[in-house]
């Protein structure tokens, strides 16, 4: 009989306020902040410091790498490490569009001024322009040689251009009408990390690894004229450039630029380096520049009676001046300006820090003398460093998590932090029986006892001379044991003592006895009957002693590296040891024989723990994976993937109904047992299928790389052809392959239905009684009477995401494309979904042009399509034109009514009516 298990699934993830691989942004009103939270984006209320929404896609496992607010104010574009982009609606917290085109992490995003187009840059060095309205990729621009670090649209005066900067030190100006690069500038001598354009779109600022911010003028007239009206610059006698170097200013920081951003007003500039500082600069007006020069002249006249600079001209240093410096409490990952100014003329700046917190500052605008004030901090719901220890209360209601300098108590039902306590560097922890106190072992050798109700440290005991690596409550609940790097194992009893200050009785720990070992102690564990105690040492061995007499019982040899964690099953028969050599070993506690050695992970195994009452084991590792094992059959039951960094700690619920894990990425994840059965054979088949699909896609991507891109052929020779500057925006994924299979199946059903109907029509004779053929079950399942096979194909295509349609159509073989053209002819003649139909038609014509022109049998179908397409497109054009004219008329009437109150009093109502009639007649 096949053994079944119950599946564990991800229940929740908390503890992350702002992860470090993406920027954070304000919402439109400046009341909330949208931050990256590993694979999710979270919305935080600044006033209350609480999370109000979480943008989570069940199908996504990739980490957030870029966030951008759309000019539409309600839409936000979020880029991910797998190259995908999702657009979320802020008001409903719902996912509305998914784009998938990049092959690696999205590093930069930019909207045009209307929010209808989105540009994305990636580590794969490509730029992709997306149409947000039609939900499709337009084209891919290639030209940079390294990661894209900044993008900005230029939209003023009819310009349709895009500026990009990259780690390859280049600034590129792209003409989106002709889809090619029209200017390339060597901006810096080092990698460029920051780019922004001011509100008037006449000034560009760039920042790099050096200590200079460079500024560039934008000649809008040259941009608008384009390539057809090029002019010669009289000074340089060369073609006029649209971007010209203006000047530079020095930064105080020696670190590379992290975020570079103009205030929405255009008057102020913020620059954040890879340190704790945000430098603020002020863009002076002409009047302020004149006053500054006048003051300088006056000082010069006071120094020397002769004025030598009467005709002094302003320099660029006079136009952009340093305003103030904001110092955060930790390294800053990104910052953002609040859109609007405060009533007193100051502005707010939000800084997302590397220590998983957010700080909000208010800065004055008038001078550097005005202080910068910190007015909000969001840091309660997360640790400042990685989580090293987890412990559950006996009733599984509370969770303790410990890191450097702090421990936090969480309510497991609400996932809210209910206590934050300052501590040492916590390495191990436990709830004291009764769940009113917790005890923590630190890196400096102290044992710290905390009272949860009063949120206070009631005693700190100098227990060891080295780090306390392990701590466990005795099975009899009357004491505990600690193991340390000072080679001692110490046994402690709980005791109530009288507090000298208050005179009240409080909990304390009394040292009872010590067991001296030959090497550093890494882990100690009791058997559940309290007869044995197992101790793992730095010399890779595990020693087992009798608890009552501390006499030696067993020694477990076999690991090549130290055992970092171990656990004993609840029936006292099995001990599992997890080692830095990436393996777990299962031993019998009766004779110390090794039942099985399993290569479990791809990196060091940090902790392991049995489920109570079973021989099921959980392990966590530096390879970011949590694994679930059957220690009787020596098989891996399930892999739980979700963490984005090393997993340090694990805590299993009393009856195994949930598991909690803590990681270097500062997240705490809860995995809950479900009632869904799990079969090992099916799990292995899914893993193999996933590996096969990923390899197939990767191999195809490799085969489709342009020759000249550094790829070698089978003989080891470099392939030599040119790389095209423009390419397709899409990317082949499992979703697009499945969508292509959906279209393929629909076409096959169409062929089958059409063949049956032709055969039926041939059999029909006058006066005959031939039954109609039975319809396909898939068509009958729709429960739509009189639906034609062509309409069924259209219905299936409409079910495919717009962003995946073109890649799905590429999957079709040419024989099926011919059948699809017959359906397209039917759709156009019937006027069905003209916009979608034309998109499919034009894409297939572009891809299969040569084959179609060489296939004579297609001429009749193509002529049908040609005639019907012209007719229907003209009809659509007339409808749109009529609607535009009507909207224009309504706008003019609205403007007239709005301006009526400003007419002269002498003007009569009759005159106003005549004006309105004149406007209507002129239309």
Is the separation of the CB atoms in 442 and 425 below 8 Å? yes
Q: Who wins on pLDDT, 109 or 858?
A: 109
Quick one: pLDDT band at residue 311, thresholds 50, 70, 90?
A: low
Least confident stretch, 198-207, 317-326, 444-453:
317-326
pLDDT score for 703: 46
Tens-digit pLDDT profile for residues 102-117: 999 999 999 998 899 9
Tens-digit pLDDT profile for residues 791-825: 888 888 888 888 888 888 888 888 888 888 888 88
Quick one: pLDDT band at residue 320, thresholds 50, 70, 90?
A: confident
Q: Which run of H or of E encompasses 678?
A: strand 668-678
Full 3-state SS string of 332-347 = EEEEEECCCCCCCCCE
Q: Who wins on pLDDT, 449 or 73?
A: 449
Alpha helix ranges (H) inside 530-624:
none
Average pLDDT over residues 334-352: 88
Checking if the pLDDT of 921 tops 50, the result is: no
For residue 239, CA distances in Å to 157, 175, 661 come to: 21, 17, 62
Q: Mean pLDDT for the chain?
A: 86
Which are the contacts of 2, defined by CB distance < 8 A and separation ≥ 6? 679, 681
Q: Which run of H or of E encompasses 695?
A: helix 680-703
Checking if the pLDDT of 53 tops 50, the result is: yes
pLDDT score for 223: 76
What burial class does residue 534 get, using C-beta atoms within 10 Å of its C-beta: 0-12 exposed, 13-18 middle, 19+ buried? buried
Annotated domain spans of the chain: 387-678, 732-876
pLDDT score for 672: 96
Q: In this prediction, what percent of the chain has a pLDDT beyond 90?
A: 52
Checking if the pLDDT of 903 tops 50, the result is: no
Average pLDDT over residues 603-624: 95
Tens-digit pLDDT profile for residues 525-544: 999 999 999 999 999 999 99
Checking if the pLDDT of 755 tops 80, the result is: yes
pLDDT score for 919: 43
End-to-end CA distance of the chain: 82
State how far the Cα of 724 lies from the Cα of 142, in Å rounded to an integer: 7
Checking if the pLDDT of 870 tops 90, the result is: no
Q: Who wins on pLDDT, 587 or 375?
A: 587
Checking if the pLDDT of 871 tops 70, the result is: yes
DSSP 446-484: EEEEEETTTTEEEEEEE--SS-EEEEEE-TTSSEEEEEE
pLDDT score for 920: 41
Nearest Cα to 421, choosing from 462, 374, 453, 396? 453
pLDDT score for 370: 57
Least confident stretch, 141-150, 160-169, 554-563, 872-881:
872-881
Tens-digit pLDDT profile for residues 647-678: 999 999 988 999 999 999 999 999 999 999 98
Q: Quickly name the fold that domain 387-678 has.
A: Methylamine Dehydrogenase; Chain H (2.130.10)
DSSP 315-337: PHHHHEEEEEEEE-SS-EEEEEE
For residue 272, CA distances in Å to 258, 579, 846 come to: 5, 42, 46
Nearest Cα to 77, choosing from 44, 121, 46? 121
State how far the Cα of 653 lies from the Cα of 657, in Å rounded to an integer: 6
């Amino acid at each position: 009989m096949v053994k079944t298990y119950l599946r564990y699934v991800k229940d929740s993830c908390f503890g992350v306020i702002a992860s470090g691989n993406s920027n954070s942004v304000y919402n439109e009103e400046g009341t909330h902040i949208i931050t990256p939270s590993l694979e999710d984006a979270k919305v935080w209320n600044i006033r209350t410091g609480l999370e109000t929404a979480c943008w989570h896609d069940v199908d996504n496992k990739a980490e957030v790498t870029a966030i951008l607010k759309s000019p539409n104010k309600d839409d936000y574009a979020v880029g991910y490490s797998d190259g995908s982009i999702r657009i979320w609606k802020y008001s409903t917290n719902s996912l509305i569009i998914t784009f998938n085109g990049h092959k690696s992490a999205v590093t930069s995003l930019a909207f045009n001024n209307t929010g209808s187009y989105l540009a994305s840059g990636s580590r794969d060095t490509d730029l992709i322009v997306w149409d947000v309205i039609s939900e499709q990729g337009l084209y891919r621009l290639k030209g940079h040689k390294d990661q894209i670090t900044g993008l900005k649209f230029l939209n003023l005066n009819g310009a349709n251009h895009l500026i990009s900067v990259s780690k390859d030190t280049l600034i590129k100006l792209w003409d989106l009408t002709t889809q090619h690069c029209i200017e390339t500038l060597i901006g810096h001598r080092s990698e460029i990390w920051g780019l922004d354009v001011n509100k008037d779109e006449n000034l560009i600022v760039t920042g790099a690894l050096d200590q200079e911010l460079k500024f560039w003028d934008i000649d809008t007239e040259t941009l608008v004229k384009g390539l057809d009206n090029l002019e010669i610059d009289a000074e340089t006698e060369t073609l006029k450039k649209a971007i010209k170097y203006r000047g530079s200013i020095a930064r105080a920081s020696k670190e590379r630029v992290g975020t570079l951003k103009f205030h929405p007003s255009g008057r102020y500039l913020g620059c954040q380096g890879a340190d704790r500082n945000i430098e603020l600069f002020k863009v002076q007006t002409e009047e302020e520049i004149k006053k500054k020069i006048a003051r300088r002249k006056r000082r010069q006249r006071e120094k020397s009676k002769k004025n030598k600079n009467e005709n002094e001209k302003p320099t660029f240093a006079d136009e952009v001046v340093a305003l103030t410096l904001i110092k955060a409490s930790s390294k800053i990952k990104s910052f953002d300006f609040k859109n609007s100014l405060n009533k007193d003329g100051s502005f707010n700046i939000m800084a997302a820090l590397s220590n998983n917190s957010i700080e909000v500052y208010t800065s004055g605008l008038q001078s550097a003398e005005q202080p910068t004030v910190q007015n909000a901090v969001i840091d309660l719901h997360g640790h400042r460093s990685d989580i090293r220890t987890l412990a559950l209360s006996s009733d599984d209601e509370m969770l303790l998590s410990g890191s450097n300098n702090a421990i936090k108590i969480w309510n497991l039902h609400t996932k809210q932090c209910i206590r934050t306590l300052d501590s040492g560097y916590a390495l191990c922890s436990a709830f004291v029986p009764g769940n009113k106190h917790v005890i923590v072992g630190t890196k400096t050798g102290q044992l710290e006892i905390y009272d949860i109700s009063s949120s206070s440290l009631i005693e700190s005991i100098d227990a060891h001379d080295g780090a306390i690596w392990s701590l466990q409550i005795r099975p009899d609940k009357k004491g505990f044991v600690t193991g340390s790097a000072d080679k001692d194992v110490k046994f402690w009893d709980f005791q109530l003592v009288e507090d000298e200050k208050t005179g009240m009785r409080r909990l304390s720990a009394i040292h009872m006895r010590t067991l001296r070992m030959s090497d550093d102690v890494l882990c100690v564990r009791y058997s559940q009957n309290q007869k044995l105690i197992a101790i793992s040492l730095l010399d890779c061995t595990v020693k087992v002693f009798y608890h009552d007499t501390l006499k030696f019982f067993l020694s477990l040899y076999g690991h090549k590296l130290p055992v970092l964690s171990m656990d004993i099953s609840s029936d006292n028969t099995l001990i599992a040891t997890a080692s830095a050599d990436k393996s777990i070993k299962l031993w019998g506690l009766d004779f110390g024989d090794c039942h099985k050695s399993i290569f479990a992970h791809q990196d060091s195994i940090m902790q392991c723990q049995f489920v109570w009452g079973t021989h099921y084991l959980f392990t966590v590792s530096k390879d970011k994976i949590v694994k679930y094992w059957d220690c009787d059959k020596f098989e891996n039951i399930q892999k739980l993937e979700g963490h984005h960094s090393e997993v340090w700690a694990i805590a299993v619920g009393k009856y195994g109904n949930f598991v909690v894990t803590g990681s270097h990425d500062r997240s705490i994840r809860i995995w809950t047992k479900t009632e869904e059965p799990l079969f090992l054979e099916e799990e292995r088949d899914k893993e193999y299928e996933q590996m096969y699909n990923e390899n197939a896609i990767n191999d195809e991507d490799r085969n489709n790389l342009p020759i000249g891109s550094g790829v070698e052929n089978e003989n080891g020779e470099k392939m030599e052809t040119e790389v095209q500057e423009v390419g397709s925006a899409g990317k082949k994924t499992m979703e697009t392959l499945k969508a292509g299979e959906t279209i393929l199946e629909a076409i096959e059903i169409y062929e089958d239905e059409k063949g049956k109907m032709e055969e039926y029509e041939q059999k029909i004779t006058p006066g005959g009684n031939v039954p109609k053929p039975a319809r396909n079950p898939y068509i009958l399942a729709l429960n739509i009477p009189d639906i034609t096979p062509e309409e069924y194909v259209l219905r299936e295509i409409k079910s495919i995401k717009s962003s995946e349609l073109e890649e799905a159509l590429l999957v079709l073989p040419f024989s099926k494309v011919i059948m699809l053209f017959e359906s397209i002819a039917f759709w156009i003649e019937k006027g069905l979904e003209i916009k979608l139909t034309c998109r499919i038609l034009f894409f297939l014509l572009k891809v299969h042009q040569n084959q179609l022109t060489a296939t004579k049998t297609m001429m009749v179908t193509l002529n049908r399509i040609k005639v019907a397409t012209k007719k229907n497109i003209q009809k659509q054009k007339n409808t749109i034109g009529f609607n535009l004219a009507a909207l224009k008329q309504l706008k003019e009437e609205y403007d007239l009514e709005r301006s009526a109150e400003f007419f002269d009093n002498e003007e009569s109502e009759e005159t106003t009516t005549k004006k309105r009639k004149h406007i209507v007649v002129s239309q």
